[in-house]
Amino acid sequence: MTKILCPFCLEPLEDGFHGDCPHCGRSLENHNPEGALPLGTQLGERYTVGEYLSADGDGLAYRGVENETRRFVLIKEYFPVTLCNGRSPEGALMPKEGREVLFKTSRMDFQDLYVDLKNLTPATGLSQILDVLEENNTVYAVEENEKGMTLTHYLSLRSRNLTPSEARTLLQPVMEGVIQLHKAGLIHRGICPDNILLPIDGSARLTGYGTLALRTGGSELKSQLYAGYAAPEQYSAAEFSGRYTDVYALAAVTYRLVTGQTPVAAPQRKVRDSLESAHSLENGVPTYFAQVLACAMRLDPAKRMQTVPELMSALTDPSVANAMFERGDNQISTKKILGASMVVIFVLAGLLLWSLLAPRGSEEQTAKPTPTPASAAGAGEASSSDSSDNSDLLIVPDLVGKNYATEIKNSDLYQKYRVVMTEDYSSEVEEGCVISQDPLAGTLQTEETPIIQIVVSKGPNLVEMPNIVGFTQDNAIKLLDAKGIQYRMEIMANDGQYAAGCVAKCELDGQNLEPGRKLDTGNVIVTVYIAGERDDSPTVSVQPAGDPDAASAAPSPTPAA
């Protein structure tokens, strides 16, 4: 028999839900709004529904109780108001006429998201999903309920901004959690102070999970976007979001922590970008730190910092940050860094040459008068000293493009250096050859055994194309992201033979792409066609993340026969 607990004090209720709780005195009458589950509803014979909390485009949220363990939980019910006509007398959700397929596919997206999160959590920095169950023609996700406060509430209690170091420490577990999400092929799309919890005991955790449709403007659901933290690509269903979308939000939260101001909302920035530098708002924010935030919050996803590990490294180490500043007028470019480095090298080389020639000149000048033994001895000591100083200087050789195994590893040319090798995939550099080095070629080193760090190519990263035809857009995105495959998405006309919002076909260079084909993740972009609603308008291109002009230049595909 199901144990019925008071949703306020967790004590057993022998007489059910009516009157007042005999233990805490709280009213057990149902005050949840019409359409929501009544107070005391039992789900799966495991959970008791408590007070209604809130609603969004995905559904309704309630306080709840896990009956067996007698602990509080959060319960989220899939209930898309734009697709539903309410409940039947038995409590089952009723989709609107003509919206049955979209209701079902959106429900699948909701269920798949929370099943993936249940399998992924517990994890550092992520609120745990405890259970996912089906009932009432819908899906319920059960989440842990930690005691604490939101980051929004915490900031309202503070009298000063956080320092960059404090901000990094506070957000580190959240960033680590987002990295785990991305490895699993999931994108949060709703990172903001409202969705970061600070438990009484423990580190910060990210919550506020939602489906792609919930966090995309103009989608079939009532969208939920957080002004100042939502990336610009989230404001249109015709644009594509990715890992860089969460990078934008994490940088925006960091900006809020160190400046005390919410960033200018993305739509306003696209009209006139008036986002001020974090350094100009708060002098205690280092210039490099402010530049990293600006780089991670660029409006163009293709020019934005792409991954959370990059953001974490750049916010921690100024040298890493400088190496990443590749694009943008408000950033220090690599060309400028190289130019400055070359100026320094030439100056040092000139000084070196002068120091080598100086003793000879002094000897010629002193040859006319016969030097005293003392002066000759002094000149000899100076010459010896200069020679000793200059012999310690080594110029870093150029290793880029050389084969590590045959030209570097056992070569006598580089015995004076300690070469540290790491590997990475590259579509441009031949396998086994050096992609990059640090320090740059030509840099002067004074250490006895200078260290040169090199990255050696493993060749192209080849992965098999998964079979995603028939998958929902959200699930297709998760699979492609997990494999690292680059892609653009286009909405195609649907004559009724496809499920709306699902993958109809995939193409590469205009040709049908069969599952199982090996793809170079760094050198190809797959076109994924998403079926629109029946009798949809002509094809609308979704701008790819890596090529801002490709969408407008690409021809519209012919509607499927």
Q: Which residues in the chain come in under a pLDDT of 70? A: 1-2, 323-393, 534-561
Q: What is the pLDDT of residue 107?
A: 92
- Rounded Cα–Cα distance for residues 345 and 347 (Å): 5
How do residues 8-17 score in pLDDT, each as one tens digit? 888 888 877 8
On whether the CB atoms of residues 408 and 452 are closer than 8 A, the answer is no
Which amino acid is present at 206? Answer: L
How do residues 490-548 score in pLDDT, each as one tens digit? 888 888 888 888 999 999 988 999 999 999 988 888 999 988 886 544 443 444 444 43
Secondary-structure class of domain 42-144 per CATH: alpha beta
CA torsion sign for 330, 334, 339, 343 is positive
CATH 3.30.10.20 domain residues, the chain: 392-459, 462-553
Q: What is the pLDDT of residue 358?
A: 59
In angstroms and rounded to an integer, the radius of gyration of the C-alpha atoms of the chain is: 31
DSSP class of residue 548?
T
Nearest partner of 507 among 484, 521, 490, 482, judged by Cα? 490
Q: What is the mean pLDDT of the chain?
A: 81
Tokens of 374: 């003392």
Question: What dihedral angle (degrees, nearest 10) is formed by the CA atoms of 447, 449, 453, 456?
Answer: 150
On whether the CB atoms of residues 202 and 498 are closer than 8 A, the answer is no
Nearest partner of 31 among 8, 50, 54, 58, judged by Cα? 50
Residue with tokens 């609308």: 540
List all residues 6 or more positions away from 32 whose beta carbon is below 8 Å from its beta carbon. Answer: 38, 39, 51, 52, 62
Burial class (CB in 10 A: 0-12, 13-18, 19+), 254: buried
List all residues 6 or more positions away from 271 whose beta carbon is below 8 Å from its beta carbon. Answer: none
Q: What is the pLDDT of residue 195?
A: 93
Fold of 392-459: Trypsin Inhibitor V; Chain A (3.30.10)
How far CA 232 is from CA of 116, 137, 222, in Å, comes to 26, 35, 17
CATH 1.10.510.10 domain residues, the chain: 148-332
Tokens of 484: 């690292």
Nearest partner of 524 among 434, 464, 476, judged by Cα? 464
List all residues 6 or more positions away from 485 whose beta carbon is below 8 Å from its beta carbon. Answer: 463, 465, 519, 521, 524, 526
Q: What is the pLDDT of residue 325?
A: 60
**b/e for 426-440, b at 16 or more Cβ within 10 A?**
beebeebbbbbbeeb
Secondary-structure class of domain 148-332 per CATH: mainly alpha
CATH 3.30.200.20 domain residues, the chain: 42-144
Q: What is the pLDDT of residue 323?
A: 66
Q: What is the pLDDT of residue 181?
A: 92
**CA 90 and chain centroid, separation:** 42
- The helix (H) or strand (E) run that includes residue 60 is strand 59-66
Secondary-structure class of domain 462-553 per CATH: alpha beta
Q: What are the two backbone dihedrals, phi and then psi, of residue 76, each rounded to the nearest 5 degrees?
A: -115, 130
Nearest partner of 528 among 499, 505, 559, judged by Cα? 505
On whether the CB atoms of residues 75 and 43 are closer than 8 A, the answer is yes
- Rounded Cα–Cα distance for residues 178 and 195 (Å): 13
E-state strands within 96-137: 129-135
DSSP class of residue 193?
G
**CA 342 and chain centroid, separation:** 35
**DSSP alpha helices (H): ranges in 325-424?**
334-367, 373-391
Beta strand pairing call for 148-150 and 138-144: unpaired
Q: What is the pLDDT of residue 540?
A: 39
Q: What is the pLDDT of residue 392?
A: 57
- Rounded Cα–Cα distance for residues 390 and 146 (Å): 63
List all residues 6 or more positions away from 512 whose beta carbon is below 8 Å from its beta carbon. Answer: 505, 506
- Rounded Cα–Cα distance for residues 403 and 435 (Å): 10
- Rounded Cα–Cα distance for residues 330 and 325 (Å): 10
DSSP class of residue 145?
-
Tokens of 398: 């150029």
CB atoms within 10 A of CB 496: 9
